[in-house]
Amino acid sequence: PEARAAFREASQPVREQFIEMTGEDGRQLLEEIKATIKEYERQQSQKP
């Protein structure tokens, strides 16, 4: 968890630049990616 938080923080400028370059479509794409990751993590946490 700590490494992921550090990566998330370190990559924030890259995500912001991506959104600047791609606009609302890019923002929506990043949100979809985050939702997909969250769902995958939820599914993995339910496995025995």
CA angle 34, 39, 41 (to 5 degrees): 95
Say what the pLDDT of residue 1 is. 78
Question: What SS3 string covers the chain?
Answer: CHHHHHHHHHHHHHHHHHHHHHHHHHHHHHHHHHHHHHHHHHHHHCCC
Say what the pLDDT of residue 48 is. 84
- Domain spans of the chain, in order of start: 1-48
Q: Which residue ranges of the chain lie beneath pLDDT 50?
A: none
Say what the pLDDT of residue 16 is. 97
Tell me if the pTM is above 0.75.
Answer: yes
